[in-house]
Structure 1
Amino acid sequence: MGWYEDDDVWVGFADVMFPPRRAAEAQRLVATSPLLKVAGGDRVLDLACGPATHVVPLAAQGAEVTGVDLSMAMLALARAACERAGVTARLVRADMREFVERDSYDLVVNMYTSFGYFTDPGDNLAVLRNANASLVPGGRMLVDVLGKEVLAGWVGRPQAVDVDGGTVFMRDTILEDWTRLRTDWTYVRGTEIRRTSIHCVLYSAAELRALFQAAGFTEVECFGDFDGSPYDNHARRLIVRGTRA
């Protein structure tokens, strides 16, 4: 079983992965980012939607949103978030390596380094190919990750993050010549200690651009932030966008 299939990870570390500030940031980005701009009636697919962090603000903008996630626990949180916000969204339990709804969406998004979970490179390519097939001609795919170039500036420094009632200690390790990243988390809350390790494939801008092109996307562009700024030495994220021909 891959780490991403373990609901104990998503539930046990939800406070770290999805703090309230992340939902507030998503709301701001959907309202202001030219990369996330949607119009009423646009059909949007959020792959690995988690607790509806982006589903809610996208639906609030009038988009018809489908959120896909493998975790039942995350989908339960997503339903609750949609209800609290008074928005309607379609939520589907599915593996993004297999989920395809042909010619159905104007925009597909995959946010907060939810891409690269799979150790087999062919699986990550399959995610992009499925997304390409699910878009209408002219539709766009947006993937947001931490690129190698950004990660190199700070990786290796242990971090401690205070959460409600405890602290999470995080340590990153680069593996296999900068092809994969392992992040080890230790959650200390009183006398309770929980540990987990998260693995993901690392991509440079050139590598992820090439993967988009291999999946059939055209007009592939790389950005350094959600304001559409270039992917350069000032970049905060690696955001890649491609268009279905």
Structure 2
Amino acid sequence: MAWYDDDDLWAGFAGVMFSQRRAAEAAELVAKSPLLAFPAGSRVLDLCCGPAIHLVPLAQRGDRVTGVDLSEVMLARAREACDEAGVEVRLVRADMREFTEERGFDVVLNLYTSFGYFDDPADNLRVLRNARASLDRGGSLLVDVLGKEVLASWVGRPQAIDTEDGTVFMRDTILDDWTRLRTDWTLVAGDTARHATITSFLYSAAELRALFEQAGFTGVECFGDFDGRPYDNHARRLIVRGRAN
């Protein structure tokens, strides 16, 4: 079983992946980021939506929102969050390698390093092509990852993060000549420990831009954070945006 198919991972490590702090940051980004400012009533697809930390604020401001995720655990949490917030959101359980809705959206989002999951590079390209097929003319895809250039400044230093469920110890390992990243997580809660390993592809700005263009996107731009800053030596994220014709 691939790591992303394991609902025990998503349930067990949700506290570090989707903390209350991260949910508050997501709401602030939706409110303030120029990259997330869409025309009123836009049809927005959140691909790998998780527990709806972006879906809720997007719906609250009036966007027509669809969330897609493979994990039923995450979708159950998303339904609960949307119900608590009193927002109407369409939720779909689907594999992003398969999900398309021809010209069904004005914007497709893929946030918080939810891209590059698949061992076969063709599958990751297929995700971009599916997103392009799902966009109406002039629509945009926004992918947010941790770029190679940003990761290189700190990778290799173990981290310990306190969460509501315990303490998570994280260690990153670069694989295959800076092609892939493995992250090992250990959650310690009392006298128990739970382990998980996540692997994904790594992309530089040039590599991800080229992949967007291979998938048929035009006007591809790279940004260093959600405030729209350039992708340079001060970047905190790698955010790539492309347009569908």
TM-score, normalisation: structure 2 = 0.99
> Aligned pairs, how many?
245
Q: Find the counterpart in structure 1 of residue 173 from structure 2.
A: 173
Q: Find the counterpart in structure 2 of residue 95 from structure 1.
A: 95
Question: What one-letter code is carried by the residue in structure 2 that aligns with 1:127?
Answer: V
By how many angstroms is 1:71 displaced?
0.2
Aligned partners of 1:75 and 1:91 also within 8 Å: yes
Give the 4+ runs in structure 1 shifted more than 2 A: none
- Structure 2 gap segments, 5+ residues each: none
Matched, 1:72 2:72: yes
Aligned partners of 1:150 and 1:237 also within 8 Å: yes
Q: Find the counterpart in structure 2 of residue 43 from structure 1.
A: 43
Question: What one-letter code is carried by the residue in structure 2 that aligns with 1:222?
Answer: C
Question: What one-letter code is carried by the residue in structure 2 that aligns with 1:223?
Answer: F
- Structure 1 gap segments, 5+ residues each: none
By how many angstroms is 1:39 displaced?
3.1
Matched, 1:201 2:183: no
Q: Find the counterpart in structure 1 of residue 14 from structure 2.
A: 14
Question: What one-letter code is carried by the residue in structure 1 that aligns with 2:28?
Answer: R
By how many angstroms is 1:165 displaced?
4.6
Alpha-carbon distance in 1 for matches of 2:93, 2:54? 17
By how many angstroms is 1:164 displaced?
1.9
Aligned partners of 2:117 and 2:199 also within 8 Å: yes
Q: Find the counterpart in structure 1 of residue 121 from structure 2.
A: 121
1:41-72: CA deviation from partner (whole Å, max 9, x where unpaired): 21000000000011111111101000000000
1:74-98: CA deviation from partner (whole Å, max 9, x where unpaired): 0000000101111110000000000
Alpha-carbon distance in 2 for matches of 1:165, 1:216? 43
1:114-153: CA deviation from partner (whole Å, max 9, x where unpaired): 0000011000000000000000010000000000000000
Q: Find the counterpart in structure 2 of residue 2 from structure 1.
A: 2
Question: What one-letter code is carried by the residue in structure 2 that aligns with 1:70?
Answer: L
By how many angstroms is 1:38 displaced?
2.3
SS of equivalent to 2:36: coil
By how many angstroms is 1:40 displaced?
2.8
CA-based RMSD of the aligned residues comes to 0.6
Question: What one-letter code is carried by the residue in structure 1 that aligns with 2:98?
Answer: E
Q: Find the counterpart in structure 2 of residue 229 from structure 1.
A: 229
Alpha-carbon distance in 2 for matches of 1:136, 1:163? 40
By how many angstroms is 1:105 displaced?
0.4
Q: Find the counterpart in structure 2 of residue 164 from structure 1.
A: 164
Q: Find the counterpart in structure 1 of residue 238 from structure 2.
A: 238
Aligned partners of 1:224 and 1:234 also within 8 Å: yes
Question: What one-letter code is carried by the residue in structure 1 that aligns with 2:213?
Answer: Q
Aligned partners of 1:209 and 1:221 also within 8 Å: yes
Q: Find the counterpart in structure 2 of residue 210 from structure 1.
A: 210
Alpha-carbon distance in 2 for matches of 1:143, 1:101? 18
Aligned partners of 1:224 and 1:231 also within 8 Å: yes
Identity %: 71
Question: What one-letter code is carried by the residue in structure 1 that aligns with 2:243?
Answer: T
Aligned partners of 1:38 and 1:58 also within 8 Å: no
Alpha-carbon distance in 1 for matches of 2:26, 2:39? 17
Q: Find the counterpart in structure 2 of residue 183 from structure 1.
A: 183
Q: Find the counterpart in structure 1 of residue 146 from structure 2.
A: 146
Alpha-carbon distance in 2 for matches of 1:235, 1:111? 16
